[in-house]
Structure 1
Amino acid sequence: MSVASACAWAADAFFDDVPIVLTASRMAQSPVDAPVAVTLIDREMIEASGFTEIHELMRLVPGFLVADWPDGSPMVANHGMSDAYDRRIKIMIDGRTVNSPAWGNTNWHDLPLRVDDVERIEVVRGPNGAAYGVNAFDGVINIITRSPATESGVAVISRIGDDGFHDHGFRINGDADAAIDWRLSGSHRRAVNFRPYRNEDGALEARKIVERSVLNFGATAQLSTQDELQWMLGLSRGSTDRGAPGSLEHPLREDDIHAHYVHLGWKRSFAVDSELSVQFHHQRERARVPWQVTVPGLGLLSVGMDSDAQREELEVQYGARLSPAWRFMLGAGVRREAARSRSMFDTGSTISGVSSQLFGSVVWSPVEHLRVDLGGTLEDHHYSGSLFSPRLALGYALTPDSALRFSAGVSYRTPSLIESHAMQVIRVGSEIKRIGAWAGADTQPERVRHAELGYAAMFRELGLGVDVRAFYQEYDDYVDDERCWYPLQPWERPPRESAWACPPPPVDFAPIEWDWQASRGPSSFVFRNVGSFRVTGGEFSIDWRRPGWGRVVLSQAIIDVDVQGASVDEDFETSAPSSITSLLLIKELPGRWRASLGYYRHSSMNWLNDGDRVPEQDRVDLKLSRRFGGANSGSEVALVAQSVGGRYVDFHAGRYRREPQLFGSLRLTW
């Protein structure tokens, strides 16, 4: 069963005694039977958390970190080891990839859907290249939307808070007995994530005010008893007011953002566990960035930071059960990725590439209780060539609802279009005055060899779910942007013996005189393979619920990063916190009241590159809500306080302070 085509069916199955996951191996299965560790964030957790942005929900996943900064998109990391561009986790919506084709990261603010559109989120907490190929490198996040077939009626929601925060939305569903199940949803949101913050040197740091409007349409038509057609359309438009007065690095500006997608799918069901599906996805992102900086000696310069990126992908998948002991899945896909940015590529032309992949898995039960899962993806990548990502998983059922799991495999991450083609320049006339990011020559794909030992169980009589795992991940050919130096004068050597000399610049490179006069001279950042490291650790999560009392979801991760004699960033060994804790407490109260508390903690760490040290810190969120209306009504009034302790350090202790948020919400359904 394909990831997208199974959404409507699984929306009901998820609430049965045995939940179903779709993302671990592209086949519907219990989390106990999955070949890799999977976390489910269900609708109850989404509502109780009080989060209004999808990326914030990743705080509920063992070992995951969330951060934001004023000059870019938020980032999500698994076990740290990340910078301002979270390009090592594959993000999907209903099975379609939404990572940006340019950087490979996810523009979380620009996703054309809102928290209210999400039914649940499935998170694979480790490499999963065997199922999804390159770039499913440190994990997979599959955001599964609420199916039109499982909803009815109309809903409106309004959230209003301090500092001009508002988030208004609606949902309209077609008639339950209509030939086509459809849903139309929309929202408009404004939030101040960062106010100008005066650092220890007295300088103002950048602000960030995000404003977005989102419109979504989804429909499903049952063409026959065997055939189903699905189509989804989404649009996100808005602006981000960001920057700091007088800053060269973060000038004041208002970025204009547009993103949209089209998703078409058809499936034919032949029998139980036997299905053919075809999917086509189109995604486009557009940013118009009025970047103007004042450069000593040159005055005010307009830098063309506008960008366009898009992806088209076609995928075919077939799965069937051959016998009680054998089950298989086989599929193929082709995708085209393209990006255009005059400043990032020093050209007005479009940079593009076409890749294809063949993927599959076989599950075999040779004896009772034992399950063997073999999977792999063979990919022909437009830049990195042929790559094969295999996985072997063994599962041993201790009881019908508990099992031990061992899995091992190899996964890859290929350089993004920017990492493989960038030549980021500032031009004045025919001369290049500054070179920023620069693609290195023949950058190799990153590789991770991974293994994990896990235990998953559901104790139904106790209302308890348990997930424990130990993991080992060995990374090679890590890609980073390393600073390089040009000579102080054309005839001189780099200023320090340890400095890395930049590659020979273009003939029209004439650096700004102010750069030459600086003590270290002009410099650039070159993407290149910088080394190897090893990550080991363990995680556990406990999910306990009792009807009438409430629910407790607790997770803990322990992480150790060991750099193995390579030239990676000197902060690399501290780029993951040694400990990450997450707690969501949901308490049912009399009179249809409900209280929830979210507690999120990590020990001190260093975000890489644009980030820096973040001390040990805690965040506490509170929500108090009351349902009203009929017994099955979704109407609710609530008060939410996020980060009740006030401003907190985010991404860089010396520069960025994230704002707390207090707001009330009203949801009406009929």
Structure 2
Amino acid sequence: MAAFPSHLLSPHLTIALLASVVIPASAAESPYFEELPLVLSATRLPQPRHEVPGAVTVIDRELIAATGYRDLARVLRLVAGMQVGQERGHAQWVTYHGLSSDYPTEMQVLVDGRSVINGSAFGGVDWTGLPLALDEVDRIEVVRGTNASSFGANAFLGVINIITRHSVEDPGLRVNLRAGDDRIRDATFTWSGGDSPLTLRATAATQRDDGFDGLHDTRRTDTFSLRGDLQIDAADALLVRLAGNTGERGNGYPNSVFDNNGTRQSWNRSHDFHLQWQHNESADDEWLVNYYRNHERVRDEWFASAPMFPAVPLDRNRENVRDSVGIQRRSAPTPDLQHVWGLEAQREDVDAPFLYFGGNPDVQYLYRGSGNVEWRARDDVTLNLGGAVEKYSGAKTHLSPRAFANWQVAPGHTLRAGYSRGLRQHNVFARYSDIRAIDPASGAVLVRPYLPNPDLKQTRVGASEIGYFGRFETWSTTLDVRVFEENIRNFVVRVPQPDPVPAPLLSPFLGSTRYENLDSAVRLRGIEYELSTRPRPGTELRVAHAIIDRDSSHPGIEDRSAPYSAVVSWIQDWGGGWKSMFSVLRMGPLAGGDGYVPRYRFVARPYTTSDANITYTTNIAGHTVQLGLTAQNIGPRHQEFADRSQQAASGSNDPVNEVCPTAYLSLSVALERGKRP
């Protein structure tokens, strides 16, 4: 790995390395060091955090509840290196280390181990349209770094694995209500019940709000899910999850050029079906067989208006169906060796006539084989080797390897180092998009903003990292440090093209573009750390901080990653049923995606914003009742993620889509004696 600038190495790495040597003498005797949560998402093997090959953030139910947040994507702001922004109230831009396009595709996003990335979101994730209620989530595991060896090409820079709660937990009925600014009106109803061997959990949730002040971004979303867990016998279990999401949203801007992004209402429907059979001969011997189906449909259509062409139909209507089946085998032949292998096949079909003028792209197929081995070479040294072999439609077979070593230099203190390589799956929209706005009266092509590029190469990354994970008896402190270098080749950018023949009538105003591979490497290197400490009973302080050095020869690429981000959180149990959480986020300058406007660059200014949540829990007539007050975006209004086309049309550097402060009240009732909300 290349040498790092001194301002990135100091002082944080120095502190981490010193911490691995300066250890309290009583550390080995403290029971604090005997309990480490198991992580599943790094290698598909259950591993304590000090043996995981890489940096992992775990966000549990307790922390999610402490935030008071309404949206899953906002929770991810607590993760070091994560760059999350809102273009409007219901539009979340979620990336690790930024860099992405308008629709981020650099991270694999999973629900219970199944990918929820699909073509209807242009290869990304529609966070508002996920058929998942926040109340369902048991924990979120975020692998910070390339993990293609375990979860394939979309795990280009990391993995977010959202794990839902088992239906046996918290039997009874729970009701959660919210109301507040911007006409926030939320309700969630969760029921869990049944007797062995079959238990069920049903969740129904609705969200309503009017979005940010001054923007056309209303949200009306309804979600329903049903999870069943059947314990067939001592060795076999069956999981079935059905989920659906329907929604209506306000999109667009009233003064976009020729109404190319005019105000309108859009509708979405998404349905998931997940069936999993689990067979365990023992705790270290497991078979998993999965089938997953996702069907998403979006209706987003409006009329553009240009001189002499008053009503030109435009749309982003699309439909996507994904089916996948997989088998996984995990075993531990010796006490010092465990391994896992898996096979997966996937079929994806996209229907979007306006986005693909020449006809929908062919059905896309994926075939993947993966494996990981963990070998405890010594009591204090663990080696991890893994790799995935993948074949996508229209692409060559490729290998994504990973090698890591973890050395526990003393009880509670681990150094790790490794290298991994990965590819980003072909984005169907980037390769085949062909959009043409046509005058319905004359049949003339007015604009052709996207041209296809079927020869687009897959983006590749090679990532090196060293890290430290430490646990200190003093104040029950944990510290996780990652120093990284990510070298990215064939990065995809949107560039202007000569006018096609015949040239569209309005090409002098709105030219053509297509996605192409950058001819030089993009390099990200830096340091990030997460610190959690409890200086006194009932008090927890959390810090997540990242510094990134960006290097690219292409104008504007560096702007797509913020050079720094930090979040500091204070969680307090005051006693008597009172709890609170206060967070401060600082985000560096960020351009976000690649919204195309020729010769126009815009970077959102750095900003600082705060969130606060306070709750009071009591018992009324045998039922647990919780009252809460949440405030978000405390402080001056700011811009997080700009629509650059609209920003350019405004003729000003003043933000066109500012985030506004919001406050709301919440009420949670567990309608069963002694159960927590």
Q: Normalised by the size of structure 1, how large is the TM-score?
A: 0.89
Structure 1 residue 460: Cα displacement: 5.1
Compare 263-272 and 396-405 and name the one that shifted more: 396-405
Q: Give the distance between the partners of 2:179 and 2:110, measured in 1 at CA.
A: 29
Q: 1:533 pairs with 501, 522, 531, which one? A: 522
1:208 correspondence with 2:217 = yes
Q: Give the distance between the partners of 1:293 and 1:589, measured in 2 at CA.
A: 56
Q: 1:146 pairs with 152, 158, 165, which one? A: 165
1:657 correspondence with 2:658 = yes
CA 1:534–1:639 in structure 2 vs 1: closer, same or farther (change >3 Å)? same
Q: Give the distance between the partners of 1:375 and 1:280, measured in 2 at CA.
A: 24
Aligned residue number for residue 601 of structure 1? 586
Q: Give the distance between the partners of 2:459 and 2:572, measured in 1 at CA.
A: 45
CA 1:16–1:659 in structure 2 vs 1: closer, same or farther (change >3 Å)? farther
Q: 2:458 pairs with 429, 445, 453, which one? A: 445
Aligned residue number for residue 93 of structure 2? 75
| Counterpart code for 1:208 | D
Q: Give the distance between the partners of 2:44 and 2:350, measured in 1 at CA.
A: 29
CA 1:23–1:631 in structure 2 vs 1: closer, same or farther (change >3 Å)? farther
CA 1:472–1:229 in structure 2 vs 1: closer, same or farther (change >3 Å)? same
1:559 correspondence with 2:548 = yes
Aligned residue number for residue 239 of structure 2? 230
Q: 2:61 pairs with 43, 47, 58, which one? A: 43
Aligned residue number for residue 627 of structure 1? 617
Compare 318-327 and 457-466 and name the one that shifted more: 457-466
Structure 1 residue 644: Cα displacement: 1.4
CA 1:71–1:592 in structure 2 vs 1: closer, same or farther (change >3 Å)? closer
1:345 correspondence with 2:360 = no
Contact 2:590 2:641 in 1 (8 A): no
Contact 2:464 2:485 in 1 (8 A): yes
Q: Give the distance between the partners of 2:230 and 2:242, measured in 1 at CA.
A: 15
Q: Give the distance between the partners of 1:515 and 1:534, measured in 2 at CA.
A: 35
Structure 1 residue 75: Cα displacement: 1.0
Contact 1:560 1:576 in 2 (8 A): no
Compare 143-152 and 355-364 and name the one that shifted more: 143-152
Compare 25-34 and 624-633 and name the one that shifted more: 624-633
Q: Give the distance between the partners of 1:157 and 1:650, measured in 2 at CA.
A: 29
1:432 correspondence with 2:445 = yes
Aligned residue number for residue 589 of structure 1? 574
Aligned residues: 618
Secondary structure, in 3 states, of the residue corresponding to 1:310? Answer: strand
Q: 1:614 pairs with 604, 615, 630, which one? A: 604
Structure 1 residue 543: Cα displacement: 1.2
Structure 1 residue 113: Cα displacement: 1.1
| Counterpart code for 1:523 | G
Contact 2:275 2:292 in 1 (8 A): yes
Secondary structure, in 3 states, of the residue corresponding to 2:378? Answer: coil
Contact 1:635 1:669 in 2 (8 A): yes
Q: 1:134 pairs with 134, 153, 165, which one? A: 153
Aligned residue number for residue 161 of structure 1? 180
Contact 2:101 2:593 in 1 (8 A): yes
Q: 1:458 pairs with 468, 471, 480, which one? A: 471
CA 1:630–1:138 in structure 2 vs 1: closer, same or farther (change >3 Å)? farther
CA 1:72–1:599 in structure 2 vs 1: closer, same or farther (change >3 Å)? closer
Compare 470-479 and 550-559 and name the one that shifted more: 550-559
| Counterpart code for 1:468 | V
Structure 1 residue 633: Cα displacement: 6.5
Aligned residue number for residue 407 of structure 2? 396
Deviations 1:186-220 (A, max 9, x none): 11101233333xxxxxxxxx521111000011010
Contact 1:381 1:387 in 2 (8 A): no
Aligned residue number for residue 304 of structure 2? 293
Structure 1 residue 634: Cα displacement: 5.2
Structure 1 residue 578: Cα displacement: 2.1
Q: Give the distance between the partners of 2:472 and 2:614, measured in 1 at CA.
A: 29
Secondary structure, in 3 states, of the residue corresponding to 1:136? Answer: coil
Q: Give the distance between the partners of 1:67 and 1:277, measured in 2 at CA.
A: 36
Contact 1:233 1:261 in 2 (8 A): yes
Contact 1:414 1:444 in 2 (8 A): no
Compare 468-477 and 396-405 and name the one that shifted more: 396-405
Secondary structure, in 3 states, of the residue corresponding to 1:109? Answer: coil
Q: Give the distance between the partners of 1:190 and 1:240, measured in 2 at CA.
A: 10
Q: 2:264 pairs with 243, 253, 267, which one? A: 253
Gap runs ≥5 in structure 1? 1-14, 197-205, 487-503
Aligned residue number for residue 577 of structure 1? 562
Q: Give the distance between the partners of 1:258 and 1:622, measured in 2 at CA.
A: 33
CA 1:149–1:466 in structure 2 vs 1: closer, same or farther (change >3 Å)? same
Structure 1 residue 259: Cα displacement: 0.6
Compare 623-632 and 247-256 and name the one that shifted more: 623-632
Structure 1 residue 99: Cα displacement: 1.0
Structure 1 residue 49: Cα displacement: 1.4
Q: Give the distance between the partners of 1:414 and 1:185, measured in 2 at CA.
A: 33
Gap runs ≥5 in structure 2? 1-32, 596-600, 643-653, 672-677
Q: Give the distance between the partners of 1:222 and 1:376, measured in 2 at CA.
A: 33
| Counterpart code for 1:35 | P
Structure 1 residue 347: Cα displacement: 4.7
Compare 339-348 and 465-474 and name the one that shifted more: 339-348
Q: Give the distance between the partners of 2:621 and 2:397, measured in 1 at CA.
A: 56
Q: How does 1:184-223 map to 2 (within 5 A)?
A: 184-196=202-214, 206-223=215-232
Q: Give the distance between the partners of 2:496 and 2:245, measured in 1 at CA.
A: 35
Aligned residue number for residue 201 of structure 1? none
Contact 2:336 2:377 in 1 (8 A): yes
Q: How does 1:254-403 map to 2 (within 5 A)?
A: 254-347=265-358, 349=360, 351-403=362-414
CA 1:207–1:645 in structure 2 vs 1: closer, same or farther (change >3 Å)? same
Q: 1:123 pairs with 107, 125, 142, which one? A: 142
Q: Cα RMSD over matched residues?
A: 2.1
1:482 correspondence with 2:470 = no
Structure 1 residue 277: Cα displacement: 0.5
Secondary structure, in 3 states, of the residue corresponding to 2:249? Answer: strand
CA 1:629–1:387 in structure 2 vs 1: closer, same or farther (change >3 Å)? same
Contact 2:90 2:128 in 1 (8 A): no
Compare 345-354 and 444-453 and name the one that shifted more: 345-354
Compare 464-473 and 632-641 and name the one that shifted more: 632-641
CA 1:633–1:274 in structure 2 vs 1: closer, same or farther (change >3 Å)? farther
Compare 238-247 and 525-534 and name the one that shifted more: 238-247
Contact 2:88 2:212 in 1 (8 A): yes
Structure 1 residue 402: Cα displacement: 2.6
Deviations 1:136-176 (A, max 9, x none): 1111101111111223111000000012111111100013x
| Counterpart code for 1:360 | G
Aligned residue number for residue 71 of structure 2? 53
Contact 2:303 2:312 in 1 (8 A): yes
| Runs of 4+, deviation exceeding 4 Å | 347-350, 630-634
Q: How does 1:494-505 map to 2 (within 5 A)?
A: 504-505=500-501
Q: Normalised by the size of structure 2, how large is the TM-score?
A: 0.88
Q: Give the distance between the partners of 1:631 and 1:139, measured in 2 at CA.
A: 47
Secondary structure, in 3 states, of the residue corresponding to 2:436? Answer: strand
Q: Give the distance between the partners of 2:71 and 2:133, measured in 1 at CA.
A: 7
Q: Give the distance between the partners of 2:429 and 2:101, measured in 1 at CA.
A: 15
Compare 597-606 and 218-227 and name the one that shifted more: 597-606
Structure 1 residue 348: Cα displacement: 5.6
Deviations 1:267-305 (A, max 9, x none): 100112110100011011111112211121221112243
Q: Give the distance between the partners of 2:491 and 2:361, measured in 1 at CA.
A: 27
Q: Give the distance between the partners of 2:345 and 2:472, measured in 1 at CA.
A: 42
Contact 2:119 2:350 in 1 (8 A): yes
Structure 1 residue 350: Cα displacement: 5.8
Q: Give the distance between the partners of 2:620 and 2:140, measured in 1 at CA.
A: 28
Aligned residue number for residue 670 of structure 2? 669
